[in-house]
Amino acid sequence: MDQSHAYHYGVMRRAIDAIDAAPAPLALEDLAARMDMSPAYFQRVFSAWVGVSPKRYQQYLALGHAKALLRERRTTLETAQELGLSGTGRLHDLFLRWEAMSPGDYGTGGAGLEIREGRFDSPFGPVVAMGTDRGLCGLGFAAETGVEASLQDLRARWPAARFSEDPDALAPWVEAAFSGRGEARLQLIGAPFAIKVWQALLEVPSGHVTTYSDIAARIGAPRAVRAAATAVGRNPISWLIPCHRALRKSGELGGYHWGLPVKRAMLAFEAARGEG
Stated pTM of the model: 0.83
At 124-141, the pLDDT tens digits run 999 999 999 999 999 999
CA–CA dist 117, 136 (Å, integer): 9
Q: Where are the beta strands (DSSP E) in the chain?
A: 93-100, 114-120, 127-132, 135-141, 162-165, 181-188, 210-211, 246-247
51 by Cβ neighbours in 10 Å (0-12 / 13-18 / 19+) ranks as middle
Rounded to the nearest integer, the mean pLDDT of the chain is: 84
At 27-49, the pLDDT tens digits run 889 988 888 889 898 888 877 77
- Which pLDDT score is estimated for 83? 41
Catalytic residue among 186, 243, 246, 268: 243
Within 10 angstroms of residue 150's Cβ, the number of other Cβ atoms is: 23
- Which pLDDT score is estimated for 68? 74
More confident site: 5 or 200 = 200
Confidence of residue 273 (pLDDT cuts 50, 70, 90): confident
- Which pLDDT score is estimated for 110? 86
Beta-carbon-side half-sphere exposure of residue 59 (alpha carbons within 13 Å): 9
Of the candidate ranges 56-70, 71-85, 226-240, the one whose mean pLDDT is the lowest: 71-85
Of the candidate ranges 41-55, 139-153, 260-274, the one whose mean pLDDT is the lowest: 41-55
Is 137 noted as a catalytic residue in this protein? no
